[in-house]
A = this chain, B = another copy of it.
Amino acid sequence: MTATVHPLPGQNRPDPSLDPLVALVAADMNLVNRVILDRMKSEVPLIPELAGHLIAGGGKRMRPMLTLASAALLGYQGTRHHKLAATVEFIHTATLLHDDVVDGSGMRRGRRTANVIWGNPATVLVGDFLFSRSFELMVEDGSLRVLRILSNASAVISEGEVAQLTAQRRIETDEQRYLHIIDAKTAALFAAACRIAAVVAERDEADELALDAYGRNLGIAFQLVDDAIDYASDQAVMGKDAGDDFRDGKVTLPVILAYARGDESDRRFWKDAMEGHRTSDADLDHARKLLERTGAVQDTVARARHYGRRAVDALGRFPDGRAKAALVEAVAFAVARAY
Q: Which A residues fall within an 8 A CB radius of B? A: 42-47, 98, 101-103, 120-122, 124-126, 128-129, 131-133, 135-136, 138-139, 142, 144, 147-148, 151-152, 154-155, 157-159, 161-163, 165-166
Contact = CB atoms under 8 A, between A and B. Distances in A.
B155 A122 contact: no
Nearest to A163: B44
Most buried by B among A44, A102, A126: A44
Contact of A155 (B124, B129, B152, B163): B129
Given A120-B120, A135-B135, A139-B144, A125 B158 contact: yes
A162 B131 contact: no
A254 B147 CA distance: 43
A162 B46 contact: yes
A128 B46 contact: no
B131 A128 contact: yes
Contacts of A139: 144, 147-148, 151
B151 A124 contact: no
B136 A155 contact: yes
- Taken together, the copies of this chain in the complex come to 2
A235 to B, nearest CB: 24
Given A139-B144, A155-B132, A155-B136, A125 B161 contact: yes
Nearest to A156: B132
Contacts of A42: 159, 162
Nearest to A153: B132
7 contacts: A47-B159, A47-B162, A125-B158, A128-B154, A129-B155, A131-B131, A139-B148
A151 B135 contact: yes
B46 A166 contact: yes
A273 to B, nearest CB: 20
Contact of A144 (B44, B142, B161): B142
B151 A132 contact: yes
B44 A166 contact: yes
Given A101-B124, A129-B158, A131-B131, 13 more contacts: A43-B159, A46-B162, A47-B162, A98-B128, A102-B120, A131-B154, A132-B151, A132-B154, A132-B157, A132-B158, A133-B155, A136-B155, A144-B144
B161 A128 contact: yes
A45 B159 CA distance: 10
Contact of A120 (B101, B148, B155): B101
Contacts of A163: 43-44
A55 to B, nearest CB: 16
Contact of A159 (B44, B124, B166): B44
